[in-house]
Each structure stands twice: as structure tokens, then as C-alpha cells.
Amino acid sequence: MPIAGQVAIVGSACTRFGVRHDRGYLQLLAEAACGAMDDAGLAQSDVDAAWLGTAEPAISALVGDAGTAVTEAIGFAPKPVTRVSTFCCTGMEAVRAGAMAIAAGEYDVVLAVGAEKMRDVTPRGSLVARTANLTHPTLAKGRTAPGQFALLATRYMHVHGATLEDLAAVAVKNHEHAARNPMAHFRMPVTIDQVVHAPRVAEPLGTLDCTPTTDGAAAVVMASVDWARRHDRPYAVIEGIGLAVVDGYYSGFFRDEADYLGFRATREAAAVAYGQAGLDRPREQVQVVECHDCFTITEILNYEDLGLCERGEGVELLRSGATAAGGDIPVNLSGGLQSCGHPVGATGVRMVKEIADQVLARAGDRQVTGATRGIAHTLGGPGVASCVVVVGAGD
Amino acid sequence: MLPVRAIMPSAPPAMAFAHASSPSHPVGSLLAVGAALPADRVPAGRGRRCAARPDEDGITLAAQAGAEALDQADLPATLVLATTTPPYDEGGSVQVLAELLRLTPATCAVELTATARDGLSALRVALALAQAQRAPVLLCASHAGSRETEQDGDGAVALLLGPPADTALATLTMGPSHVEELRDRWRLRRDPEMREGDSSFVDEYGATRLATDLGRAACAQGDAPVAVCAPSGRAATKAERALGGAGDEIAPRTGLLGTAHPLLRLVCGLDAPQIVLAVAAGMGESVRVAPAPAAAEVSQRMRDRAAGGSERDAPLPIPSGAGFDPYASGPRAWRERGQDLRLEGIRYGDRLVYPPPAAPPPDRRDEPPVIQSLAREGTVLTHTRDHVYPGGDVTGMVVLELDDGARFYSQVAMGEELGIGDRAQLIPRRLHQGGGVVQYFWKAAPCR
């Protein structure tokens, strides 16, 4: 059975994202998973299988290294749980895996939960230092996540004339959005001046161009559309979902096809998801977007790679105000990764929940009036993997 | 009990050199020359000295010099490394150099690491091997001791040597040698610092006496200006003047380059016949240099390089490296030595792919892999300066479009800056030290 239009999102939940010293990994996972089941009006016994998205279990002492963490956290035995990991696409990949199982007819109801505990590093130390020490002894040395995206920022500014103020405008916009999201890590507004003059992390990116390091979890419960109708549940429907993996973690930045002005993985994933959903003019056909703004430059590149504008026109789209709240294609009304933070395994699930809430008209202060279709997008690797989901309103 | 006078010589023992009559000194050709002198020059007494950046060492300098000497030359059958500052006290450093120079696994590799005289000892060995094997020998001599001793500079010189030939830059004929127990500068195993002998003893009985006597013995085979190299610049100058020379004009520009210094003086003096001497720790070597006219241009180029560089108040500080303890694996380093050190990719049709993929693309499954070394020059596509990477205070990163079409993503060499569109070269550098090994890799620097 084709996946498009067959899988319903019938429940979702998200923990508050932030520095959660009050919650351990399993507690965050349980809060999100049980919240999603409560939202769907279901108990563990009603759910047939689960997928867990956790990208880096070593951070939390290997808890989350396998699906067993879900079993331990919510009492799910003996049902099958599978952990998935695709860098920053991990959470959305958990959603995709669960959705495929529903579409295949194997299960009636599944849970996809993403959880990451990033502010409790084991052993103590920065994530950057951990990564620098553990990754490839030559090919990875010198690379950091901000450093890799900074390469695209430098190139984009050189080719398309974007400025530091343009990059800062993404942070300003998304922080302003986050003021209306009680689950976001940062909810205070920032100014262009603050962003531009913040300490540099990887030039031209400064601290306020970067997503914070955050703990959190999110979950969705999925079922077949038929099941949702039969059980009279309100639901959003997955109209299309595509995952594209175009290279490996170390090799991606060495490939000669990369122009450092965007990400092929996003374009490939969008093509799959849009094809399933029948989208050919996404700017006109969707009303809301959650995209992977791990760094300010990434959101501008995403506009182009997701087809919201032509390549090279992302900065003009930003300047036009179209992607801000009240614009004709608002992007990251949740506050995005810029303000929500990026607990890697949880992010993609949180985005799917955000768009599902929009098309179900339950997004609170962030609601886009009349929204019937939205896009959620993650980018991982960095840049070698991407997942795009088109979520529409159900019946 | 005998009076002390009866058992002590009343004067320094007569040298009684028999070197002049030796018929078996090796003779060979100087085919090509390379030199790597770090860009930075820092104050040293009345002059200045070359100061390596923190990511340079005796191996990276030797590799840069060796690569220049091998440019457009056939690969040598033998590699000889002489360095007073080997990164590994035990276990060898020459094998890293062989990989960085992309020599074949069948290369005979030799390493000498004892004294500042070893540049000329290595030359003797290299010439003998070239003569015996009738095949080229690459000699690399390097020194990176500027952070340990105030008079020392850092640098490397490489000579490509062959059996006697008419087309050579110069004919090199080894001259008298000398050995006796006399400590002027030494370091015991695990000593943190260099030890030096009493200066009055060292000057009178050490370098000055040895060099003067050795120089006279060498000149007995035919008079020529003599260049003297010794661990003490003062002693070397005294000896050189005693032999009628002008003194070392290179050292005030570069500092004393340890075992590379006699070879630097050799290549800087290729515009005229000369004898080069090196003495240290009771040992001495000499070589007679008879250059061809074409060598004058090489000589001028090397003197210009010694005089060049840019002034700094002090060597670039070594980054703290706090929190940086990178994973290392001996088996991985061995498996991936081709991509790490030899900079090898795999060519599929018109595409050169780096790092080499584990399996060929589906449409190339039936083709044998074509391993190809990447070009070492290219153009900057994009860059950043990373303030959070723990390996350095600020780590420059760059993506290059290499001239052969491959891409390379690397660190910028310490102390260098690159911008979009700049021409850049890949040079071997220390990446870090972790897990008990030094990790060498390629970094980008402006083309000069």
C-alpha cells in the first residue's frame, strides 16, 4: 500500500525543551510517549510497536542505544521497539519508519518517539570536544557542526550578497516566534545588533546564529486513516514522506558536486515527498513550514531547497517578510531549532507534531488561520541526509 | 704514583689525520635541491632565526624540502633522513617521511639522529649508496629546535643525489672525517633539556680545534673556501675565520639549523667551489663541492629564501589543546595511510574521488581501481575560522577545488589565512598528537 494519504497522526506530545536537569533521558522519553498516547486516547496495550529516535546514546551513558529504552520507560513489553539513527534526521526517521509499518498493514497503531539528553554529557565535557575526540583522526579533525555550516554561509554571502544582518534576521524572526511557544528553550526576543555582535563561533556565524544545546523529547502516535475514521479520532494525514541519503558523514564535504549553496539531500527528499503528495508549487500549496534552522544560514538555504523560491532567492524571500508570522508562507512558527533547541532525536518528531497541530487547528497562539497543509523538514549529516514530510488535514 | 704531568698530554693530542691519503671517499652528483624554511623569523641576538609554526616539525619540514627536490624527478631508491629533532625518539620517523613523499614500499630508508654533524654524515652515506646502487638517493636533513634553544632556527634541506654524472648541479666529494669522545652538546635519554659542556673547554678543544684541523686536512686535497658548521655559532665562526673564510652569513638570517645547517650552507654556496665542514660532539665530516655553472641560480634562490620570511616578535604560541585527546588507532592509520599521508584518491573516468570509497560506484564495478595522488594546488571555494574546535585557539577550515577536479576539505595551516578565490597549496602538517602518536595530514596554505 502506498504511504501517501494512508497514515494518520492521531496523537502527539512534546516535553518542554531546554536544560532539563530535572529530568533524565528515560523520564523525558516517558513524558513524551505517554503524552502522545494520552492525546490519542490510547494506552500502551493499544499500541502495537514503537520506533525510537536517539542519535547519540553515548551522551547519556548508552541509555537509548536500543529500543529497549522505550520498553523500560513506559512498560511496553513484549512489543517490538526499534531504535533508528540518521544524524539530525533521527526523529523524523522514527516517524517515517513507523508510518511505513502502518502503510504496510503490519500494525494498526504505532508510536514514534524521539528523545535526546544533550546537557548531561558523559563524561563531562563539551559536545564539540567529545565529537572532536571521537571522530575520524584525519578527515574529521577541525570540523564542527557550526564550522561546517559556516562554510555554506561564507559561500552564500560571497555568491548571493547576503549579509550578516540577513543571517541575523532569521534568528530575530524565530526568537520572536518562540515567544508564543511555551515548550521552546529560549523565548526571549533578540535584536539584529545582538546577533551580529554576539561572540563568533565559526565565522561568519556567532552564538545567536546557532541552535542551543538542549534536552527534550517528542512523540506521535500513528494509525491507518481507516483506523482513525473507525475510531472517530481527529487526525492529520501524512501526504508524503521522503528520506534522502546522498553521502557519508566524513566524505560529504569532499564531493565535487556540492556547490556549498544548498543541500542536495533536501532537494531529493522534497522531490519524493512532494511527488507522493502531488505538490508541484509548494509555495502556493502549503500554508506553514517547519524546517531545520540549526544555523541561521540553513533556514535561508532550506527555502530554496524546499522549493519555496528559486535557488539564490532565499535571502530575498526572507527580506520580504513572507516567512515571518503573518506572512504568506510562515516558517518555524515554533521558534525553530534556533529557539526550541535541537535535542537531535526529538527534533524531527517535534516538527511533525507542530505541523500536525497546525492542520488540526490546535496550534494556539501560533495557529495559521485556515492551514490545511504544511511541511516538516530535517537535515542531517550535516547535509548528507534529509527527511521531508508533507502533513495535511484529515477529514 | 706517577706525576699527573706524566700521564696527561701537555697539549691537545695531535690530530695526526690520515684522512688526506684515504682513497675511498664517496663521490656523486647533486641532481636537485629543495629547502623548507618556515615563513616566520624571530629575533635571535643581533640577527634572526626561522621559527616553525606549532604544526610544523622535523618531519613536515623534511617532507616539504624533499617534495621540492623530487619535483619532476624519478623516485629515489633510497631515502636518508638526518634530523636532530626526530618526533619519535624510538620507532623511527623516516617511514612517515617516505609516505608523505609517496615513495614506493621498496625504498631503502635510513635515519640518522645523533648530532648536528649528521647532515654531512648522511651525505656520505647517501653518496656511497648512490655510487654503489647507481641509483638516485634522496637526502633530507631537518631541524625544529627553535623552541628549545635560543640560537637555533628551524628548517630543512633536501638533496637528490646520484652517481657521478655530467648533467649534475654539482659534483660532491666527501673528504676527511673525524671521531673522538668529546661532549659539547648532548641530551641523555629522557632528559627534558639539552646539556652543554663548559664553553671554554668546548671552544678550545671542541668545535674550533676540530674544524680547524679538519679544514686543513680537507684543503690539503685542494684549496677552496671553507664553510664551517658547529653547534656553537661562535666556535664555527672562529674556526672558519682561522681557515681564511668570511664566517657564516646564513646563520644570522635563519639561526643554526642543526643537522640541516651544513646542507643549507652547501646549497647557498653553489655559485663557487667550496668545502663544507660540520663538527659536533667530537665528530666531524667534510665535503668538497664543485658546482656546475647552472647551480648559481639554485644558489641565489636558496640565499633569497634564507633572507626572506616575515618578522615576528616571537614564535607563534602553541595552542593549549585543552579538552583535546583524540582517538587514535594504529591499524586505522596503517590501513588509511594512502589517503592520510600519500593523499591518494581513486579515479573513475574523469572523476577523482577522495577519500577513496569502500566500493566502486555501480557503473564502475568491473574496472580495476585507479589510485591517483591528488593535485597539491587548487582554489579556495569557501572557508571559515572556527572558534570552538578544541584543537587550536582558532582553527581555519577551507574547501579547495583542486586543479585535478577533486575537492579537499581541510584545516588551514597554523598562522595562514585564505579567502574565496585564493590559490592554495596542500602541505603536510601535524594535525595533533593523541593516543601516543603524531597524526600528520595535509593542510592548506597560500601558494607562494
The predicted-structure confidence for A217-263, as pLDDT tens digits, reads as follows 999 999 999 999 999 999 999 999 999 999 998 888 998 889 999 99
Name the residue facing A254 among B354, B383, B432 (closest C-beta). Answer: B354
Q: Measured between CB atoms, does B397 come within 8 Å of chain A?
A: yes
Return the amino acid letter for B11. Answer: A
Do residue A372 and residue A356 come from a single domain? yes
Q: Measured between CB atoms, does A146 come within 8 Å of chain B?
A: yes
Helix (H) or strand (E) holding A71: helix A68-74
Contact A158 B382 (CB under 8 A): yes
- How would residue B14 be classed by pLDDT, with cut points 50, 70 and 90? very low
Do residue A182 and residue A251 come from a single domain? yes
How large a percentage of chain B has pLDDT more than 90? 72
Do residue A27 and residue A165 come from a single domain? no
CATH class of the domain defined by B330-446: mainly beta
Q: Measured between CB atoms, does A202 come within 8 Å of chain B?
A: yes
Check which CATH number belongs to the domain holding A195 and give it.
3.40.47.10
From B330, which residue of chain A is nearest by alpha-carbon distance? A137
pLDDT the model gives residue B309: 95
Q: Measured between CB atoms, does A254 come within 8 Å of chain B?
A: yes
Q: Note which residues in 297-326 of chain B have CB less than 8 A from chain A.
A: 323-326
Name the residue facing A151 among B340, B384, B432 (closest C-beta). Answer: B384
Name the residue facing A146 among B326, B354, B388 (closest C-beta). Answer: B388
From A133, which residue of chain B is nearest by alpha-carbon distance? B326
pLDDT the model gives residue B185: 87
The secondary structure of residue A17, as a DSSP letter, is P
Q: Which residue would you say has higher pLDDT here, B382 or B46?
A: B382
pLDDT the model gives residue B367: 86
pLDDT in tens, B213-222: 999 999 988 8
pLDDT the model gives residue A41: 97
CA distance linking residue B123 with residue B126, whole number of Å? 5
Do residue A76 and residue A164 come from a single domain? no
Strand locations in B84-235, DSSP E? 108-112, 137-144, 154-162, 170-174, 178-179, 185-186, 195-196, 226-229
pLDDT the model gives residue A378: 98
Name the residue facing B327 among A128, A133, A201 (closest C-beta). Answer: A133
CB pairs < 8 Å spanning A and B: 129
Range with lowest mean pLDDT among A293-302, B96-105, B179-188: B179-188
Residues 6+ apart with CB under 8 A from A368: A287, A288, A330, A333, A358
Q: Are A174 and A336 in contact (CB under 8 A)?
A: yes
pLDDT the model gives residue A126: 75
From B391, which residue of chain A is nearest by alpha-carbon distance? A142
pLDDT the model gives residue B234: 85
Contact A256 B385 (CB under 8 A): no
- How would residue B9 be classed by pLDDT, with cut points 50, 70 and 90? very low
Q: Measured between CB atoms, does B410 come within 8 Å of chain A?
A: yes
Q: Note which residues in 331-370 of chain B have CB less than 8 A from chain A.
A: 332-333, 336, 339-340, 351, 353-355, 357
Q: Note which residues in 354-393 of chain A have CB less than 8 A from chain B.
A: none
Contact A158 B408 (CB under 8 A): no
Q: Measured between CB atoms, does A138 come within 8 Å of chain B?
A: yes
pLDDT in tens, A326-349: 999 999 999 999 999 999 999 999
Do residue A227 and residue A242 come from a single domain? no
From A248, which residue of chain B is nearest by alpha-carbon distance? B357
CA distances, B314 to each of A7, A317, B50, B309, B318 (Å): 67, 50, 10, 14, 11
Q: Does domain B25-187+196-311 have CATH number 1.10.287.130?
A: no
Whole-model pTM: value is 0.93
Q: Measured between CB atoms, does A253 come within 8 Å of chain B?
A: yes
pLDDT in tens, A86-143: 999 999 999 999 999 999 999 999 999 999 999 876 655 677 888 888 889 999 999 9
Name the residue facing B324 among A129, A154, A250 (closest C-beta). Answer: A129
Does pLDDT of B10 surpass 70? no
Do residue A230 and residue A183 come from a single domain? no
Does pLDDT of B18 surpass 60? no
pLDDT the model gives residue A39: 98
Give me the phi and psi of A29, to 5 degrees please: -55, -45
pLDDT in tens, B374-408: 999 999 999 999 999 986 689 999 999 999 999 99
pLDDT the model gives residue B171: 97
- How would residue A78 be classed by pLDDT, with cut points 50, 70 and 90? very high
Do residue A153 and residue A29 come from a single domain? no
Using an 8 Å CB-CB cutoff, list chain B residues near A258: 407
Catalytic: A177? no
Do residue A48 and residue A195 come from a single domain? no
- How would residue B1 be classed by pLDDT, with cut points 50, 70 and 90? very low
Does pLDDT of B11 surpass 50? no
Residue range(s) defining the domain that contains residue A13 = 7-124+214-236
Sheet holding A288-290, edge to edge: A81-84, A49-53, A109-116, A216-224, A7-14, A236-245, A385-393, A373-380, A288-290
Do residue A232 and residue A245 come from a single domain? no
Q: Measured between CB atoms, does B432 come within 8 Å of chain A?
A: yes
pLDDT the model gives residue B40: 97
Q: What is the mean pLDDT of chain B?
A: 91
Min distance A378 CA to chain B CA atoms (Å): 24
Q: Measured between CB atoms, does A135 come within 8 Å of chain B?
A: yes
Residue A324 lies in a domain: yes
Min distance A231 CA to chain B CA atoms (Å): 48
Q: Measured between CB atoms, does B271 come within 8 Å of chain A?
A: no
CA distance linking residue B424 with residue B409, whole number of Å? 12
Do residue A317 and residue A190 come from a single domain? yes
- Grid cell at residue B95: 617511514
Find the mean pLDDT for residues B356-377.
90
Q: Measured between CB atoms, does A155 come within 8 Å of chain B?
A: yes
Range with lowest mean pLDDT among B26-40, B236-250, B334-348: B236-250
- Grid cell at residue B63: 617532507
From A257, which residue of chain B is nearest by alpha-carbon distance? B407
Does pLDDT of B46 surpass 90? no
Q: Which residues pair with A206 in a beta bridge?
A: A200
Q: Measured between CB atoms, does A128 come within 8 Å of chain B?
A: yes
Q: Measured between CB atoms, does B441 come within 8 Å of chain A?
A: yes
Strand locations in chain A, DSSP E? 7-14, 49-53, 81-84, 109-116, 200-202, 205-206, 216-224, 236-245, 288-290, 373-380, 385-393
Q: Measured between CB atoms, does B327 come within 8 Å of chain A?
A: yes
Using an 8 Å CB-CB cutoff, list chain A residues near B429: none
Domain definitions of chain B by residue range? 25-187+196-311, 330-446
How many domains, in total, are found in chain A? Answer: 2
Residue A131 lies in a domain: no
Name the residue facing B405 among A125, A126, A256 (closest C-beta). Answer: A256
Q: What is the mean pLDDT of chain A?
A: 95
Do residue A47 and residue A149 come from a single domain? no
- How would residue B415 be classed by pLDDT, with cut points 50, 70 and 90? very high
Name the residue facing A137 among B332, B351, B406 (closest C-beta). Answer: B332
Contact B387 A203 (CB under 8 A): yes
Name the residue facing A137 among B323, B327, B420 (closest C-beta). Answer: B327
Find the mean pLDDT for residues B307-314.
95
Contact A138 B441 (CB under 8 A): yes
Residue A155 lies in a domain: yes
* Catalytic residue of the set A14, A34, A88, A340: A88
Using an 8 Å CB-CB cutoff, list chain B residues near A262: none
pLDDT in tens, A46-70: 999 999 999 988 777 788 899 999 9
**Count, residues in chain A:** 395
Catalytic: A210? no
Do residue A264 and residue A191 come from a single domain? yes
* Catalytic residue of the set A175, A177, A292, A342: A342
- Grid cell at residue A196: 551580529
pLDDT the model gives residue B22: 53
- How would residue A1 be classed by pLDDT, with cut points 50, 70 and 90? low
